[in-house]
Structure 1
Amino acid sequence: MTDPSPEPIPGDDPSLLVAAPSTRTSLWRHGGFLRLWAGQTASQFGAQLGGLAIPVLAVQVLAATEFQIGLLNALQTAAFLVIGLPAGAWIDRWIKRRVMILADLVRALSLALIPVLWFAGILEFWHILVIATVIGVATVFFDVSYQSFLPVLVPRDDIAEANSKLEGTSQIARVGGPALAGGLLAIVQAPVLLAGTAFTYLLSMTALLSIRDRETPKPRSERRPLVVEIREGVAFVVRQPLLRRIVLCTGVGNFFNTIALTMLPILVLRHLGLGAPLFGLIGSIGAIGGILGALFAARLGKILGEGTVIPLSATLLGFALLLTPLAGMFPTAAIPLLIAMEFVLSVTVLVYNVTQVSFRQRICPPALLGRMNASIRFFVWGVMPIGALLSGVLAATIGVVPTMWIGAVGTLLSAAFVVFSPLLGMRALPDTMVPAATAESGIS
């Protein structure tokens, strides 16, 4: 059974699919992209330092409980659920690069408060919760602007390559960052390491300040009520059948993998007693898979089919996550199991994300990019704070390992949304908006 063709969306002109010129040039000679890439490289390394330092600070320094860890993880992503949709509408009205600059500044100043409070001897867990909430709000605006800015900055034909380069750097940071963070945590305290993360956000802000782009704010005369503009973004996502299936898979998968992975610091640092340096090293070795995923995502799409790699990577991701509770059940094999989990998870997440993000950036009109990305983030990240809170409650009630089994099995089952769809066997994903009837019958 197929859906009716979508109704036209205001501003939905196929000639406006991207704002960047269509003439293709090497990204190595694209000054704006290179500056963006450099800034993101710095902030990604910083994010990896903070990604290890914050749970170590919570678990080992502030002695957080399972429920508190769940609450912390929930607050880090709660903003996507609370303000994700209006943020997208606002971003479509503003200049995206300026939003990213302000978001980087807010994140840098917020993180810098942690070492200040710690040196003053007054740092408490509730401070971490408040700061995590503020950073979460800034991250909503940065991430939605970031995904919407790339199609403005580079030509449409270069979007997939640009995403691959950016994701490849992100994965290099995931390889070196956790090991570096683990080593540094053997020398300095976690709050000191977070000062380094704050500095990298300032480097990202500086790089963005140096970029020149052609984007202009949306004229006030063209703005409609906020609710109407939000509805247009949601409608675009819902009315694209292929995109709708991807969003369902990603949203349900994120809900369950958040249930599983929220308790990973408790499992590694407290139950297995592996320590921060080894925790970081496991993440670094496993993240090598992410580099491979970023390098070969486009090639795999050509060999296996762009549509096919989405259900394939989603299924493999689910199987990889099953290794996490197994590590808790078999402590003597925990290290190789966790490394294998991180490796396969990194490969599959990168292949999945590079493929589906490039697809949605190609088919979306520039006027809707912010709202489209915000709508998707609302659905696929908005479930994460709920999953994190549920993880904390379940772990405190039935234990860490049973909670991880629930999350891992649920993640695997979420792949059904894309496995049983026209995506499986599809050689090329569309470059333009997809009428429902055409998409459901399959596109070659």
Structure 2
Amino acid sequence: MSITSTDSPSPVSPETDRPVPLRRQRDYRLLWSARAVSETGSEVARLAVPLTAATLLTASPIEMGLLTAASTVPFLLVGLPSGALADRVARRRPVMVACEAFAGLAVLSVPAAWLGGLLTIPWLIAVALVVGVCTVVFRSFNTPHLMSVVAPSQRTTALAGFQSVFSVAEMCGPSLAGLLVTLLTAPIAIVVNAVTFLASALCLKGIRAPEHGTRGSGRGILREIAEGVSVLMKHGALRALCATGMLVNFLGAAQLALYVLFAVRVLGLPGALVGVTATGFGVGGLLGAVLASRLARRFGENRVLLGSVLFFPVGFVTTAAAGGPFWLVVCQLVAAEVITGVAVVCYSVCAGAVTMRESPAELLGRVNATTNFATQGVMAPGGVLGGLLGASLGLRPALWVCAAAALLIIPCLWLSPIRRGARPASAAGSPSTARRPRSGRAAARR
């Protein structure tokens, strides 16, 4: 038997009257597979695209900066309107399929242009913009769509499953990218990303769960955007989650701007080992994805959120304090990345579940898009500030400034309604339904 209401969209076992495990649900397997292939391909392109620009097109530093910015600018340009559009349409899946298909065709144009002798830096920037817009729109539509596929009691587990995909892609993607670039050259390796986008579109198209969105009233997109912003600003828990994500991403971008230089110039690590230490974040993320849903079932999402932010400063402090023998430095940096990965993924999973639980269903797309707009938008100024601090204070002192500022993350969440609503899951009922007055690195991820 199937439950087709928006509150319980997943199949229910007739013997136990409980939702069937996600691994046995065809629609969730297709949704999970779509993310798995798409994220793996994106990790390949993350290395292959800049290598194409740097080695084949001899891009200047300014052109490399524009190419990097092109992938994040769409969050500021279309982030808020895409959330309003997500709440306007009754069916979101066709839009998600179109986003993956357009992104795949745009990426496929890179090797085609290279083979035809037409590839230029502006071409790469245009492709990055198209893919970036598709990514933003996809994210805005994905969260409301998930509510049509997964039952409320399984949403935390579903989000944890997606986070495991991201973590595995972060661990294995760079190695796969390096192998493909070596064997095929950078432009041809990008074909893998195009194929994965198209494969993701096919997986999404195969999902059969009925959608129950409601069409918007057409009152004007600016007014609808303002409604989403208003809900986020007036709801204490959602506002606290957004502020925490902004602070974590801002400081994370500042640290990232300094990390490679610090590891190479101050700690004396070779470039290969810097990459090895960075894989610790993927390992920690995979561990966090395994733990997040289990901890949420036992303690409730709010308590997991409160616990996870206690570990954010640990990663910053461990990195800033790294020093000593060669082997100890590597262990310190890997430990910092693992700790950060576990904390970030646990936070992201539970923040996503709380956002779906607390947001009015008809405004979820706009609330999610507003959160993405805010948490992603602060990364550019965070990176600039990190560079300025490193230039004026030195690399290690600048990292200590980031570590000290990271302590603000704790009261940002602990002084919010998240703490007042922190009840054990056993006392509050299902962690996904306990409260409903109707979340690179901590930001919402696609």
TM-score by length of 1: 0.81
- Where does residue 441 of structure 2 map in the other structure? none
Give the structure 2 partner of residue 8 of structure 1. none
Structure 2 counterpart of 1:180, from 157, 176, 182:
176
Give the secondary-structure state (helix, strand or coil) at the position aligned to 2:353.
helix
CA RMSD of the aligned region, Å? 3.5
Deviates most, 348-357 or 89-98 = 89-98
* Contact 1:49 1:194 survives alignment (8 Å): yes
Matched, 1:129 2:125: yes
Cα drift, residue 165 of structure 1: 1.7
C-alpha displacement at 1:206, in angstroms? 0.8
**2:248 alignment counterpart:** 253
Q: Which of 99, 106, 111 is matched with 2:102 structurally?
A: 106
Q: 1:152 aligns with which of 148, 151, 162?
A: 148
1:84 to 79, 82, 92: 79
1:99 is aligned with what amino acid? V
Contact 1:32 1:153 in 2 (8 A): yes
User: C-alpha displacement at 1:258, in angstroms?
Assistant: 1.5
Q: Which residues in structure 2 correspond to 1:369-380 (within 5 Å)?
A: 369-380=364-375
Matched, 1:20 2:16: no
- Give the Cα separation in 1 of the matches to 2:363 and 2:123: 37
Structure having greater relative contact order (Cα 8 Å, sep ≥ 6)? 1
Residues in 2 aligned to 1:405 and 1:230: alpha-carbon distance in whole angstroms: 38
Q: Contact conserved, 2:27 with 2:208, CA < 8 A, in 1?
A: yes
* Count of residues in Structure 1 that have an aligned counterpart in Structure 2: 418
After superposition, the Cα gap between the structure-2 partners of 1:72 and 1:412, relative to the gap in structure 1 and judged at 3 Å, is farther
Q: Which residue of 2 aligns with 1:41?
A: 36
- The structure 2 residue matched to 1:232, chosen from 227, 230, 243, is 227
1:201 aligns with 2:197: yes
Q: Which residue of 2 aligns with 1:166?
A: 162
Residue number in structure 1 paired with 2:27? 32
Q: Partners of 1:397 and 1:84 in 2: how far apart?
A: 34
Within-5 A mapping of 1:203-352: 203-215=199-211, 218-219=214-215, 222-262=217-257, 264=259, 274-275=270-271, 280-303=275-298, 305-324=300-319, 335-352=330-347
Q: Distance in 2 between matches of 1:162 and 1:63?
A: 43
> Is the contact made by 1:48 and 1:181 (CA closer than 8 Å) also made in structure 2?
yes
Q: Normalising by the residue count of structure 2, what TM-score does the alignment of the two structures yield?
A: 0.80
Q: What are the Cα deviations for residues 53-87 of structure 1, in whole angstroms up to 9, with x where unaligned?
A: 34555667667677666554433222222221111
Task: Report the alpha carbon displacement of residue 254 of structure 1 after superposing the two structures with TM.
Answer: 1.1
Q: Matches of 2:25 and 2:223 in 1, distance apart?
A: 36
2:256 aligned partner, one-letter code: L
Query: What CA distance in whole angstroms lies between the structure 2 residues aligned with 1:327 and 1:57?
Result: 34
Amino acid at match of 1:41: A
CA–CA distance in 2 between the matches of 1:347 and 1:402?
Answer: 26
Q: Which amino acid aligns with 2:296?
A: G
Bigger CA drift: 413-422 or 324-333?
324-333
Shift of 1:184: 3.6
Please report how far the alpha carbon of residue 187 of structure 1 lies from its aligned counterpart in structure 2 after TM superposition: 3.9
Uncovered stretches (5+) of structure 1, i.e. residues with no partner: 1-15, 436-444
Distance 1:225 1:331, change over 3 A: farther
Q: Give, in whole Å, the separation in 1 of the partners of 2:413 and 2:281.
A: 26
> Is contact 1:182-1:278 (8 Å) kept?
no
CA distances 1:267-322 after superposition (whole Å, capped 9, x unpaired) = 678996844x6555444344121111011112223555532321332231232134
Is the deviation greater in 291-300 or in 257-266? 257-266
In the alignment, the residues of structure 1 paired with residue 178 and residue 151 of structure 2 have an alpha-carbon distance, to the nearest angstrom, of 39
Shift of 1:375: 1.4
> What is the DSSP-based 3-state SS (H/G/I as helix, E as strand, rest coil) of the residue aligned with 1:215?
coil
After superposition, the C-alpha distances for 1:204-241 in whole angstroms (9 at most, x for unaligned) are 01101111232266446x33221222122122222221
Gaps of 5+ in 2: 13-18, 425-430, 439-446
Partner-residue secondary structure (3-state), 1:415: helix
Which one of 88, 97, 100 corresponds to residue 93 of structure 1?
Answer: 88
Q: Provide closer, same or farther for how the CA distance between residues 242 and 147 of structure 1 changes in structure 2, counting only shifts above 3 A.
A: same
Alignment-derived partner of residue 428 in structure 2: none
User: Bigger CA drift: 374-383 or 52-61?
Assistant: 52-61
Structure-2 change in CA distance of 1:206 and 1:292 (3 Å): same
Identity of aligned residues (%): 30
Does residue 384 (structure 1) correspond to residue 379 (structure 2)? The answer is yes
Question: Does structure 2 retain, via aligned residues, the 8 Å contact 1:20–1:151?
Answer: yes
